[in-house]
Chains A and B, each alone.
Chain A
Amino acid sequence: MTGKLWVFAVMIFVIAALYAGKGLLQKEYSSQQFMMDTLVTIKVYGSDKAKLQQSVNEAFNEMRRIAELADHFPAVGTAAYNASDICKINQNAGIKPVTVQQDTVEMLLLARKYAELSKGAFDPTIGAVMRLWNFGGDKPTPPKPEAISQMIAVSGFNYLEIDQQKSTVYLNKKGVQLDLGASAKGYATEKAYQLLKKRGIEKALIDAGGNIRTIGRNRDEKPWKIGIKDPRKEGALIAVVSVTDGSAVTSGDYYRYFEKDGVRYHHILDPRTGYPSNHTISATIITENSAVADILSTACFVLPPKEALAFAVGIDGVDLLLITSDKKIMHTPKLFNRISITPDSGYRYDQGR
């Protein structure tokens, strides 16, 4: 064999060895923390373990910072209460505008934008009605219709005034209360994503209790495969969707609910009626921004299925998969190329819808 051929053969082997070793050189760092009433897992990949660990810690801190700003549960006078912009805004409803952090302004601008677009199917001012239902509390019970009507009278995004220049927020009617339960987690997840990007992370998955945000491609250099939970069967998936640099967020009726006299009351209320919305049992949004995905999954859960699909189609870069209460799977047409529906799942699937 000539010298040149030898060199060529060696090069091929070295390249093969490096390629095979790539997966191993790519280290994974994963960490979990409890926050925002859920379990958050962040997984990152790269070659420098110390940098991975540092970035994940910073991402968690960023999420915690947003969680504190948006928390509306703490009791008056506690440290958590004083740290929360939302508590301050709620306390000053009908009294005066409150100076808040830039992130609170951005969170509320986004929430108001989609509240307007969805004509109130999503509404961040639903706090008084949510409090009345008391879903997280001890022995919740359905409120009386008169009480719901009273609280609906103090709900509506028109009561929310945001002054971007002054960084102030004002609820201009007494009794109106903000509740960012359907949007803060998505916003916090997006901030964690931005931080990881800024630190140069090229491969990551953030799982905030089922709100998924990804960076780049998965470990095998393929789009991330995100399963969509079967809303009625524990551990089963209804579909798998491919996501690269994007989010998948689901709103479902199956996690937070209570039963009273044989009736199930779940926590996703139609802000226009004050009652749990029952056309749909699961709505998954697939889009780039996790904050938008979180808000739209709630809006599309509340809207009647056909309206929800038309609404999602009308927003650039947004896809939707719905499971209706009569067990039908529907999705936006663009999703067709990157979704595989589980066969024989017991749901009816109208292809191409």
Chain B
Amino acid sequence: MTRGDKLLILLILASSLLSGYFLYFHNSNKDASHQAVISVSGKIVQRVSLSDSTPSQHFRINGKVGETIIAVAGRKIRVENAACVNQICVHQGWIERAGESIVCMPGEVVISIEGVTGVDAVTR
């Protein structure tokens, strides 16, 4: 085996490792865990993981027009109370599937569930 051959073997090893690394990362990006992301005016303020073992809980978020009370129960999340006038976010009730979201326009509060949805976007 010449020196050139050894160099080529090294190159091949390096490129296959590289491709394996890229493939691994590309796929793992798609596999985001099932969690709710809560943001106010575009900034993330809290993340809650949603699973069957998630304990029931309430917490408060300060939105643009006042306090929003969010309830979590297992895989589900909802707005229980909000300071906005129209209460659309409260009426929407529980959400639990990846890709679902609750948007409180006046408070600029968004709760969205991350995870694999099978679609790029939803028209509604």
Report whether A210 and B15 are in contact in the complex, using a CB–CB cutoff of 8 Å.
no
CB of B59 closer than 8 Å to a CB of A: no
Per the CB 8 Å criterion, the residue count for chain A at the interface is: 48
Q: How far is the CA of A240 from the CA of B121 in the complex (A)?
A: 10
**Any chain B CB within 8 A of the CB of A263?**
no
Q: Closest CB-CB distance, A299 to chain B, in whole Å?
A: 16
State the CA gap A73–B12 with chains docked (Å): 65
Shortest Cβ gap from A351 to chain B (Å): 21
Which of A3, A24, A236 touches B26 (beta carbons < 8 Å)? A24
- What is the bound-complex CA distance between A250 and B123, given in angstroms? 6
A residues less than 8 Å from B123 (CB atoms): 210-212, 226-229, 248-250, 284
- CA–CA, A16 and B23, complex, Å: 10
Q: Which residue of A lies closest to B2 (CB)?
A: A3
Is B19 close to A, CB under 8 A? yes
Known interface pairs A13-B16, A20-B19, A234-B93. Does A33 touch B42 (Cβ–Cβ under 8 Å)?
A: yes
| A21 with B22, Cβ < 8 A, contacts A235-B96, A235-B100 known | yes
In the complex, what residue of chain A is closest to B11 when comparing beta carbons? Answer: A10
A138 touches B85 (CB 8 A): yes
A50 within 8 A of B: no
Instruction: Judge whether B3 is part of the interface by a CB distance below 8 angstroms.
Output: no
Known A10-B8, A34-B41, A225-B119; contact A252-B124, beta-carbon cutoff 8 A: yes
Mark out the residues of chain B between 33 and 61 whose CB falls within 8 Å of any chain A CB in the assembled complex. 39, 41-42
Q: Mark B85-115, 1 if CB is under 8 A from A, else 0.
A: 1101000111111011001010010100000
What's the minimum C-beta distance from A9 to chain B, rounded to whole angstroms?
7
A205 within 8 A of B: yes
The answer to whether A17 touches B122, judged by C-beta atoms less than 8 angstroms apart, is: no
A150 within 8 A of B: no
B22 in complex: contacting residue of A23, A235, A284, CB < 8 Å:
A23
Q: Which of B44-80 contact A (CB under 8 A)?
A: none
How far does the Cβ of A40 sit from chain B's closest Cβ, in whole Å? 10
Q: What are the interface flags for A231-262 relative to B under an 8 Å C-beta threshold, 1 for contact and 0 otherwise?
A: 00011110010000000111010010000000
Distance between Cα atoms of A95 and B25 in the complex (Å): 64
Question: For the complex, what is the distance from the CA of A13 to the CA of B8, rounded to whole Å?
Answer: 11
A interface residue numbers (CB < 8 A to B): 1, 3, 6, 9-10, 13-14, 16-17, 19-21, 23-24, 31-34, 37-39, 136, 138, 205, 207, 209-212, 214, 218, 224-229, 234-237, 240, 248-250, 252, 255, 284
Q: A20-B19, A226-B121, A227-B123 are in contact. List 15 more A-B contacts (CB 8 A).
A: A9-B8, A9-B12, A13-B15, A16-B15, A17-B22, A19-B19, A20-B26, A32-B42, A38-B103, A205-B121, A210-B123, A226-B122, A234-B92, A250-B124, A255-B88
Q: 21 A-B contacts, Cβ less than 8 Å apart?
A: A6-B5, A6-B8, A9-B12, A13-B11, A17-B16, A17-B19, A21-B22, A23-B26, A24-B25, A32-B110, A34-B105, A39-B110, A210-B122, A210-B123, A212-B123, A226-B123, A227-B122, A229-B123, A235-B95, A250-B123, A255-B124
Residues of B bordering A, CB below 8 Å: 4-5, 8, 11-12, 15-16, 18-20, 22-23, 25-26, 29, 39, 41-42, 85-86, 88, 92-97, 99-100, 103, 105, 108, 110, 117-124
